[in-house]
Amino acid sequence: MNIARLLCVLTAATVLAGLRAGPATGQPNYDENKVPDYTLPDPLVMQDGRPVTTAEMWRRERRPEILWLFEEHVYGKPLPAPPKLRFEVFDRAGDALGGTATRRQVRVHFAEGDGAPTMDILIYLPNDAGGPVPLFVGLNFYGNHTIHTDSAIRLSDKWMRPSKPFAIVDNRATEASRGRSERWPVELILSRGYGLATVYCGDLSPDTADRFDHEVIRLFYEPGQTEPAPDQGRTIAAWAWGLSRAMDYFETDEAIDHRRVAVMGHSRLGKTSLWAGAQDERFALVISNNSGCGGAALSRRRFGETVGRINTVFPHWFCDNFKQYNGNEDDLPVDQHMLIALMAPRPVYVASAVEDRWADPRGEFLAAQGADPVYRLLGTDGMAAEEMPPVDRPVTSRIGYHIRSGGHAVLEYDWLRFIEFADQHVE
């Protein structure tokens, strides 16, 4: 049985342990002395060798070139905006969470007809805001109903990966799964004056290679096409696309300050938040939490999870072209510091954890640091730290970073740092 199929039968905890220790593509390197010598592509040098010397040249030439390189070699070409997009607000309650919040649930219809894909956005806004509310938005792993015990949240009816902690039975959510996620401190976020919006990632594309229906991707197939082309986006592209469709809705809602929306993601969804923020400059702040390989960590370091391993275990995440760099990272025309640079001059925050060596915390810091020259060229500060900061001592410059105690998770500590960073940088 291959590893992709194991993902469909093991619990989430077992999968995570297996991925960190299993031998699918050799034992992972956790020794800094074994990190190979590498040279990073310069974000301020064009592919034809011309230096980028002005902000205009970055915006007009280099930024589109880097974006295209990521599309062609890593994430795949982005999906177009749907020709027909319809928002159905099926729940609007002003007395949610004991009267402290307004709850909205919005179904986004991507096409007409029975069986056309949809996604549900769950939104909480503080009732004492006094005006349009800035917002955090992010995808969740097991349905909107898992982020809070609020019984009014619609129970997802989409396919889900098996998970005992999330009470998934026959690949479907159950009432027992309500409020099972500890990653979304709703009341804390609202108490600080922000709203929260979230979407189940499986509304857009199921997270498994064994049941890769492509969901929204198939809306844009050519006649007779059954699989994405080698340079077309797959699951991460679909997830990022969905975040932009949520932003389309936010622009129509007068209670939301759509000019102050922060997109946040954890782990594979942190890779997604970075790719969404790189493509869609409407996001005012981009946050990556423990995103690792294919997210904020430098691929060339080959530390923890590698390009070869991620493409073997999760062949549905990236475009097929990315697989030619399995064990061949030095030939990639980009690395992840250039992805972070695509956020410039907008604020971006990268978060790591000491025990999450699989995600290569040092590689995440170095990638954030490597984006600094682009921010400086555009007239803002970049990464203030010249060396990796001490544990639990965040860097709060325009490129923010922290490495905290603990492992692969989203903790209240992380959210407090994200909120403080938004307070400082999102005006």
Question: CA separation (Å) from 61 to 68, 169, 214, 348, 376?
Answer: 11, 50, 32, 22, 17
* Residue from 266, 316, 337, 408 carrying the catalytic annotation: 408
Cα 286 from chain centroid (whole Å): 9
The pair of structure tokens assigned to 348 is: 């971006």
Say if residues 254 and 104 touch (Cβ distance below 8 Å). no
Query: Is position 148 annotated as part of the catalytic site?
Result: no
Q: How many CB atoms lie within 10 A of CB 225?
A: 12
Distance CA 380, CA 400 (A): 13
Q: How many CB atoms lie within 10 A of CB 132?
A: 17
Distance CA 202, CA 233 (A): 16
* Residue from 267, 273, 352, 397 carrying the catalytic annotation: 267
Q: Which of 100, 99, 98, 92 is nearest to 122 (CA)?
A: 92
Distance CA 410, CA 327 (A): 30
- For residue 349, give every residue at least 6 positions away whose Cβ sits within 8 Å of its Cβ, in sequence order, or none: 285, 286, 287, 288, 399, 400, 401, 417, 418, 421
Say if residues 118 and 110 touch (Cβ distance below 8 Å). yes
Say if residues 250 and 135 touch (Cβ distance below 8 Å). yes
Could you write out the DSSP letters of every residue in 268-280? Answer: HHHHHHHHHHHH-
CB burial of 184-217 (b: ≥16 within 10 Å; e: otherwise) equals: bbbbebbebebbbbbbbbbbbbbbbbeebebbbb
Torsion on CA atoms 275, 279, 282, 284, rounded to nearest 10? 40
Q: How many CB atoms lie within 10 A of CB 229?
A: 14
Distance CA 402, CA 385 (A): 11
Q: Catalytic residue positions?
A: 267, 408
